[in-house]
Each structure stands twice: as C-alpha cells, then as structure tokens.
Amino acid sequence: MSSRTQNTKYQKLNDGAATVLVMIMGVVSVIVLGGLVVLASTNQVAVERRVANDQALAVAEAGVNYYRWHLAHHPDDYTDGTGNPGPYVHEYKDPQGGLVGTYSLEITPPSAGYSIVSITSTGWTAVNPGIKRVVRVRYGIPSLARFSFLHNANVWFGQGLTVHGRVLSNGGIRQDGVNDSVIQSARETYTCGSETGCSPSQPRPGVWGSGGPSELWEFPVPPADFDAINVDFNAIRTAAQSTNTYWGPSPRQGYHLVFEASGQVRVYEVVSTNYYRGYDSGVGCTNLYQRITSENQLTVVNLDTPKSLLFEDTVWIEGTVKGNATVAAARFPLDSYNEDVWIRGNLVYSAKDGKNHLGLIAQRNIYFVKDLPEPFEINGALLAKNGKIIRHHYRASGCSSYSNAVRSRLEIYGAVISNLKSYWNWGTPPSSGFTTREVTYDSSLYLYPPPYFPASGDYEVISWDELPP
C-alpha cells in the first residue's frame, strides 16, 4: 500500500475521532448547562418557598397582633365581634392596600377561674397559599404567683434563708440571706424599726443588709397595687357550689383537708381542738387552738379536673397533692369575718412536673402549727389576703417553752404572698423557727396558676409557640 493511501486512511480516522469527541463534549455541555438550569430553577423555587414561608409566619403573627388589639378594646369578646364560633378569616394588606396574605384565627377563651386566652393564627400569602405557618399565643394577665415573695409591708429575710425567684415588697427589705434573682422594693428609703431589726428606728435604703448579691437589688420600683388585688371569693364560692366542694360555717371548729397521692382529698369536720401557747408580735401571747383532738370524715373529693374548694370556717390542711386545686377559707359577709388556715404537716406535690398546682388562700392568716415534721415542706401558692403567713414563737419568755420550737429546715416551692409582714423565725440563731429556710419559685405557676388565683397587671404574652400546619 502506498504512503499516500495510508495517510488518507489515518486522516479519516483522526477526523472521525475528532467528531466523536466534539459530540461527547457537546453532550456533556448540554448536560452541564441543563443541570445548571435545573439547579438555578430549584434554587429559585427554594428561595421563593423560603420567602413565602417567612411571609406566612409574618402574616400569622399579624393575626395574633390584630386580636391582641381587639381584646384591648373588647376584653370580653372571644368571637371577633361576630357572636359566632370561628375560625375568623381576615385579609392582610400592605400600607398601599395590596393583598399580602390571609390569616385564620381560632380563639379559645379563658377557662373558668383563669385569665389567659389562647389565640391560634394560621397565615399564608396570596402568592403561595399552599405554604402555611401556625402560631399559638397565650395572652392574659399574669398570676400573682409569678413572685416567690410578694409583700405589702416591710420584711426581713434573715440569715439561713435562700430565695430562688423574684421578690417584691411595697415596704423596705432587709436582706441578710441569699438571693439568686431580683429583690425589689417600692421604697427608695424607709424607716427601719423593730420589724426589720432596728432599735432605735433609723432610715435605711429600700433594700439593705448583709446578704446578697446586692447587684440584684432594685429600688425604688413601681409598687404592687394591693388595693386592686381582687380575690373573688364570690366566684370561688359559685364554682365550688357547682362541684359540691363548698362548705358553709361549721357548727363545730372548722374543717380538715388531707390530700392524697391518688388524686383525692379527704374532708373532715373538726369536732374539738386543744391549744398550745404561742406568741405573735401582733397580738402577744395567746392560746392557739391548733391541735385536732376529734373529727368526723364528711366526704372525698376527686381532683380529676381542676377544683375550687371553699370553706366558710377555719381550715387545717396537709398531704400530697395530685391535680389542680384552690382551697379558700373565707366567711360571708366578707367585711364581718376573717378566717384562717393552719398548715398541719407537709403539703407537697406528688411530682414537681408542672402538672400539679395548689392555691391556698386565707381571708386573714396562714399559720404553720407547732408540731411539724422534719424537714417541713410546702408546695403551692400561699396567699394571706388581709394578714400574714407565720409560725408563732413557741419559746417566748413568759409565754411558752416547747422543746420542738426549733425545727431543722423549711422548704417552700411556690409563692408566698401576704398583705402584712410574713415571718417564722425568732432570733438569730432562732430560739423558735427553722435553722435553714429555702424558698423556690415554681415557674409553672406563671403559665398554669391554680383556678381563681388572683392576677394583676396588664395583659401580656404569656407564651408563644409555633405549631405544625
């Protein structure tokens, strides 16, 4: 074969290979370009969905804000002005009147005895109505149980007391203990007298003492309006009557409640009592009829649903609480009587899991008896409407000298609220009282207070949650 023929053959082979290579490169280029186009398109769709997702959330929150505004003007309207059940659908427009999207509202009014309304808003945009976001906001007046201590008087936190949670007093505060949250006084200065350990009386800052940390002390702050704090005993009585948990004035000595871990409350009528001698700085040495010597069981109450129990007489209480309940001691007419509560032993939750709550409301005072267990623990929100929360002095000179006047430890998990100064220790170290004391705020009371437990302040957002659409 001649060299010319061979060269021609090789040239044709090279030309063919080049054509195949060009074709392969073309195909690859088309695939790459197509992939880039698809990727760009996918990214564009993802961006549009993300924008629509964010906008849907904004529309849903606009629905919540609208109904907050509605409640500010119509606080008892939970039907969007229609008188009919929801959902309530509204268009959401921009300032120029263009349609941005739509939100649908579902309103759950407060349950009886509570102040918190639930607003559920579902939002979507006009451009992408298939993309929805759902927001649920609990909105209402916060419970007084948002404090660990709330007082309307001068108060002294002594050595050996540790407070976990916010403290507010309308009077001055002497803090010789330990706090890990803010301690607030409505007074810039006050006159410290014997009630907070000053003799002779002398001016002191709103918060002062040897405890701390003082960086968490704040004064003056706006006071709590105790005159506006309304314990609606009438509403509690009506609710109690509807569930057969109301008891009128006893012909005997009062009533004794024993909470049980099974979720029941045994109610007894106290037939007879005996006394110990004890000292109260308000009334001096007196006979304290706190010892139950005879009683008869009346009934058993199930706490399968939240209950309000009202007694128009003195109440003794103890046990293990499983469920949600408010116990109130008050006699009508309210201006003519003052009923008290005696905490007779440990009063604790079956579990501190946010599912069990107790409100204990006395028309006047809440007392701790002399014969207490070691250690002594209380779980619940305690409120002495017109009085104080105390343990008497059981070793006061010229009054009494009991061997168990001093107990080792007091633990309170919840809230302590009183109109007058609350106290349970006498002297440092105590000659009567508790060697160590610890008060811990129960944060679940903020969201889920006991039924009919009083609230105060302005409406605010209690919780914000996003739900699946």
- Residue 200 within any structural domain of the chain: no
Give the SS3 label for residue 42: helix
- Residue 191 within any structural domain of the chain: no
Distances (CA, A) of 279 to 392, 397, 403: 5, 9, 15
- State which amino acid sits at residue 280: D
- Residue 280 within any structural domain of the chain: yes
- Residue 408 within any structural domain of the chain: yes
155-160: long-range contacts, CB 8 A cutoff, minimum separation 24: 155/196, 155/421, 155/422, 155/423, 156/195, 156/196, 156/197, 156/421, 156/423, 157/209, 157/211, 158/425, 158/428, 159/210, 159/211, 159/428, 160/425, 160/429, 160/434, 160/435, 160/436, 160/437
Burial tier of 13 (Cβ tally within 10 Å: 0-12, 13-18, 19+): exposed
Number of domains present in the structure of the chain: 2
> What is the mean pLDDT of each successive set of 10 residues along the chain, which is 469 residues long?
54 58 64 57 61 91 94 91 95 93 96 90 94 94 89 95 96 96 97 94 97 96 85 95 97 98 98 98 94 98 97 98 98 96 98 96 98 97 97 97 97 97 94 97 89 85 91
Kindly state whether residues 244 and 119 are assigned to the same domain: no
- Residue 3 within any structural domain of the chain: no
Kindly state whether residues 265 and 393 are assigned to the same domain: yes
Kindly state whether residues 135 and 248 are assigned to the same domain: no
Kindly state whether residues 271 and 401 are assigned to the same domain: yes
pLDDT tens column, 389-404: 999 999 999 999 999 9
Domain limits for position 117: 58-143+462-467
- State which amino acid sits at residue 352: K
Distances (CA, A) of 333 to 50, 234, 314, 316: 62, 10, 15, 22
426-433: long-range contacts, CB 8 A cutoff, minimum separation 24: 426/279, 426/393, 426/395, 426/396, 428/158, 428/159, 429/160, 430/406, 431/393, 431/395, 431/405, 431/406, 432/391, 432/392, 432/393, 432/394, 432/395, 432/396, 432/405, 432/406, 433/391, 433/405, 433/406, 433/407
pLDDT tens column, 283-298: 999 999 999 999 999 9
